[in-house]
A = this chain, B = another copy of it.
Amino acid sequence: MSAATLSFSTKARRTPESPISYFMEKAIGNPNLISLAAGLVDSESLPAGPVARAMAEILNDPKAAKAALQYGTTRGYLPLLEKIAGHIATLDGTTAQAMGISARDVMVTTGSQQLLYMLSELLLDPEDIVIVESPSYFVFHSVLAGTGVRVVSVPMDDDGMKTGELEATLTRLDAAGELHRVKLIYTVDYFQNPTGRTLSVERRRDFMRIVHAFAAKQRILVLEDAAYRELRYEGPELPSLKSLDAGNRHVIYAGTFSKPLSPGMKTGYAIVPNDLVDHLIRLKGNHDFGSNNLSQYVIHHLIANGEYAKHVETLKNVYREKRDTMLNALQAEFADMPEVHWTKPRGGMFVWLTMPTAIPTTPGGAFIENSIREGVLFIPGEFGHVDDRGPVPKTEARISFGDAKIPQILEGIKRLRKAAGAAAP
């Protein structure tokens, strides 16, 4: 009927296809597949009982039911916003007031992903500069690609982003007359996706010192993606960058109930500097004028009745055991391959594996093909990197203990070892 093909927007044409779909499809035929690739949460511990009870209580109360099933506001359910401000302050060992935040600075989003997207839309024009850790969360890379910005990476080590390198990078950009284009620094500072690494206390203080020092010349915002923060299995609670941001000026703190409660309710939130929050809410008005209201009521209910806190404690035990299983299995299976090493995350759900140069993790390579044949899936590490500092590492992999059950983790690591053995030259 029509010969004309569709033409897409400049932005759409900049947005790459998900790098994951290629081998997800390759793997789909294998019913015995063990996926250490997906970012799913542990299915067995999902809070069906508490959610069912909260739903019943809300829906059997005529007034609450009417409000929860009706449109909410774009910003989110006010009592939930208040709980969130208090909750994050408590994690930081202080009060919302002392942190300089209130419900007025909080907004609800459809998972924290929506915050990442909207913030990019609100701030970024092509040729702007965004600073990320290397490696970083690959879905955010895809969002950034859509905006046409220049992504500048800062190396990490086991203490998270190297703040010395961050400072050097900003100084270099300043010298090049490009500081005014630097709009955002993105960090997943707790149990990072993909590496499992956490920004140390010293680095946190240094990070904010740097941001504050450059603020006289350029107000650089920090997107602190704290999605995994509450899944902490050992070590002390660390102060958020937000808590070190006196005056609530620089840090957008992105949190979510997907990891510590249930991704099926897809409810995230952000704590946002005062002069930014209304702009984000206006943009959200155009996106959807508010996330799922019923889920916001349920989550508020679960925080208020203490079930949320209880659930997080349960989850920590569940994931700690799975993490230990994975780390022990790696230790056992790869004992004879000392060139293989991996991170030891103190929380979250990801371990970052580095293979020897001879066993690249590249899509299409022998290791990944063998893995798929053996029935185990990982995420090639290169998807987490950008190439602003030269060729990206080709020997890394993200493996997750999120959804795999303990016997699957054990078997999955066995299969990885087999695949690696067969791939070794």
Contact = CB atoms under 8 A, between A and B. Distances in A.
Interface stretch (A258-266, A350-358, A359-367): A258-266
Interface in A168-198: 183
A71 B112 CA distance: 13
A215 B125 CA distance: 34
Interface string A40-64: 1101101111011001100110100
Contacts of A6: 123, 219, 221, 275-276
Given A1-B247, A263-B293, A287 B117 contact: yes
A62 B49 CA distance: 10
Give how many copies assemble into the complex. 2
A289 B247 contact: no
Contacts of A147: 9
A295 interface: yes
Interface of A: 1-12, 15, 17-18, 39-41, 43-44, 46-49, 51-52, 55-56, 59-60, 62, 65-66, 68-72, 110-111, 113-114, 117, 121-125, 139, 142-143, 146-147, 183, 212, 215-219, 221, 246-247, 249-250, 258, 262-267, 275-276, 279, 282-283, 285-295, 297, 403
A122 B9 contact: yes
Contacts of A15: 282-283, 286
Nearest to A180: B7
B289 A2 contact: no
A293 B279 contact: no
18 contacts: A2-B212, A5-B219, A6-B276, A7-B123, A7-B183, A8-B123, A9-B123, A9-B124, A10-B125, A15-B283, A49-B59, A51-B294, A52-B60, A68-B264, A70-B262, A113-B288, A117-B288, A291-B292
A214 B422 CA distance: 58
A285 to B, nearest CB: 6
A414 B68 CA distance: 31
B69 A264 contact: yes
A59 B70 contact: no
Contacts of A8: 122-123, 279
B71 A263 contact: yes
A111 B288 contact: yes
Contact of A292 (B70, B72, B249, B292): B292
B262 A294 contact: yes
Nearest to A21: B282
B51 A52 contact: no
A78 to B, nearest CB: 14
A246 B1 CA distance: 9
Nearest to A2: B215
Nearest to A245: B1
Nearest to A281: B18
Contacts of A44: 66
A352 to B, nearest CB: 21
A59 to B, nearest CB: 4
A56 to B, nearest CB: 6
B10 A71 contact: no
A264 B70 contact: yes
B289 A111 contact: yes
Contacts of A292: 110, 264-267, 291-292, 295
Contacts of A246: 1
Contact of A70 (B41, B111, B122, B286): B41
A121 B276 contact: no
B51 A69 contact: yes
